[in-house]
Amino acid sequence: MKLTEEIEKAVNMFIVNTIEEHPNDLVSFVMNHFELSRPTVMRLIKQLIENNTIIRKNPRGRNPGYQLKTTRFSSVYQLGKENLQEDKIYYESVMPHVENLPKNIQQLFEYSAMEIINNAIEHSGGSQLTILVSINLKHVEVDIIDNGVGIFNKIQKDLDLQTPQQSILELCKGKFTSDPKRHSGEGIFFSSRMVDQFIIFSYGIIFNGHEDNDMIYEANADDNFKGTAVRLLVNRDTKRTPIDVFDIYSDQDKDPTFHRRSIPVRIMNIEGGNLVSRSQAKRLLTRVDRFTTVVLDFEGVEMIGQAFADEIFRVFKATHPDVKIVPENANANIGKMIRHVESSIQ
């Protein structure tokens, strides 16, 4: 079967977009999707291999392991022994590899990568900083790795938290900094929203934060990695710009800064148990008076106690009338509890 140029282009793009999910059954998957013959699909895959778009990891095995052809670059810097500046490192180790990409992608990395590099220089307490850049036809990835004390451990120490996992909640809120005289605390939050994938791995804890889908989970207990690794991944077809990100969290009637925040309440559950106490509510609300609108997303939360609800929806509202608290995705039981405590407001 002879394909038109337009159809062939569409099939090739489909291969590129699905190869990561189908490394071993790519041929049959494409055949079934487009109702094409095996020789036709094999011909297209062969062409993509010949022009260095994809590779076959196992040339003779039953599991071919098709992958996008990825080019990788690395740079290493000694922390504490050099007069390091985040912009200099960025323009040396990242910019040369993205300068031919669309301007918006360059701007996304310029903001997010510089912010994470600065954090490593000023706060990691490590001796080495590694920058890895990986580029293929689908996305660009920048990994920023240090061998320091670990971001979650540092936040735990700075805020006197019980566990490093509790640090995640502060990152989700945004506007957290251990050095308020020099930093606004917005950098990591906005960096996570600039990219299509934002992952922090540190001392066995993995935080996957993007938009309002923040997640935390434990890595393998025997993982010996010491330090912090931050992954910034941007899809090459993204139309997002830094201004788009800032506008989402800005009040257009005020200066274009950080006014609105959505907090996933489910992250409180990493502490174990149910959300029932005033102390839990107070910890959830720490620093939220810096915003004008706070959305509490209850997705994944089954119930809350009366004291927890009362502290948020009556006590906090009474003492912070300029902060609007908006519950979202609350189930029937949670909604009933919120209405109960609000009904007692005089």
Within a domain: 107: yes
Work out whether the CA dihedral 309, 313, 318, 319 comes out positive or negative. positive
- Say yes or no: 145 and 125 in one domain: yes
pLDDT of residue 169: 77
**Residue 118's pLDDT is what?**
93
Q: Could you list the residue range(s) of the whole structural domain that residue 291 is in?
A: 259-342
Q: Give the pLDDT confidence score for residue 190 in this predicted structure.
A: 84
* Statement: residue 297 has pLDDT above 50: yes
Last residue of some domain: 35, 51, 68?
68
Same domain, 302 and 271: yes
Looking at the fold, whether 75 and 218 belong to one and the same domain comes out as yes
Which residue, 68, 87, 102, sits at the end of a domain? 68
Do 78 and 181 fall into the same domain?
yes
Query: pLDDT per residue over 50-91, tens digit each?
Result: 999 999 998 887 899 999 999 999 999 999 877 889 999 999
pLDDT higher than 90, residue 147: yes
- Looking at the predicted structure, is the pLDDT value of residue 326 above 80? yes
| Residue 246 located in a structural domain | no
> Do 31 and 107 have their domain in common?
no
For the chain, the average pLDDT equals 86
Q: Kindly tell me if the per-residue pLDDT of 27 is higher than 70.
A: yes
Q: How many domains does the chain have?
A: 3
Same domain, 76 and 55: no
Q: Is residue 60 located within the same domain as residue 132?
A: no
- Which H helix or E strand runs over 271? none
237: pLDDT strictly greater than 90: yes
SS3 63: coil
The yes-or-no verdict on residue 296 having pLDDT over 50 is yes
pLDDT tens column, 190-205: 888 899 999 999 988 8
Would residue 251 count as lying in a domain? no
Write out the DSSP string of 106-140: HHHHHHHHHHHHHHHHHHS--SEEEEEEEE-SSEE
The pLDDT assigned to 164 comes to 80
pLDDT band of 227, cuts 50, 70, 90: very high
Q: Which residue's structure tokens are 């996992």?
A: 165
pLDDT confidence of residue 62? 84
Q: In terms of Cα–Cα distance, which of 220, 219, 226 is closest to 149?
A: 226
Beta carbons within 10 angstroms of residue 54's beta carbon: 24
Rg (CA), the chain: 24
Instruction: Tell me how far apart the alpha carbons of residues 46 and 54 are, in angstroms, rounded to a whole number.
Output: 9
Tens digit of pLDDT for each residue in 265-295? 887 776 556 889 998 899 889 888 888 888 8
Does the residue 315 lie in any domain?
A: yes
- Per 3-state DSSP, the chain is made up of helix, strand and coil in percentages (nearest 5) of 40, 20, 40
Looking at residues 129-143, what average pLDDT do you find?
97
Tell whether 75 and 173 lie within a shared domain: yes
118 — phi, psi (to 5°)? -60, -40
| Pair 235, 102 in one domain | yes
If residue 194 lies in a helix (H) or strand (E), which one and from where to where?
Answer: helix 187-194
Q: What is the band of 255 on the pLDDT scale with cuts at 50, 70, 90?
A: very low
- CATH label of the domain that carries residue 301: 3.30.750.24
* Identity of the amino acid at 33: H
- Specify the pLDDT at position 167: 81
Compute the distance between CA of residue 219 and CA of residue 231 in angstroms, rounded to an integer.
15
Give the up-direction half-sphere exposure of residue 35: CA atoms within 13 A in the CB hemisphere. 0
Residues 96 and 222 in one domain: yes
Residue 253 lies in a domain: no
257 vs 25, higher pLDDT = 25
Residue 250 forms part of a structural domain:
no
Backbone angles phi, psi at 319, to 5 degrees: -90, -10
Place 256 in a pLDDT band, splitting at 50, 70 and 90.
very low
CATH number at 141 reads 3.30.565.10
Residue 137 pLDDT exceeds 60: yes
Q: Check whether 221 has a pLDDT greater than 50.
A: no
- Predicted structure pTM score: 0.80
pLDDT at 146 over 80: yes
CB 140 within 8 A of CB 236: yes
- pLDDT of 102 over the 60 cut: yes
**270 domain residue, yes or no:** yes
Q: Is 92 strand, coil or helix?
A: helix
On the CB side of 51, how many CA atoms lie within 13 Å of its CA?
8
Look up the CATH number of the domain holding residue 20: 1.10.10
- The pLDDT score that the predictor gives to residue 166 is 75
Q: What are phi and psi of 100, to 5 degrees?
A: -95, 0
Q: Which residue has the higher pLDDT, 181 or 192?
A: 192
Angle between helices 86-93 and 103-123 (to 10 degrees): 130
Same domain, 87 and 175: yes
pLDDT at 182: 53
Instruction: Give the three-state DSSP class for 294.
Output: strand
Q: Is 252 inside any structural domain?
A: no
- If asked whether residues 124 and 200 sit together in one domain, one would say yes
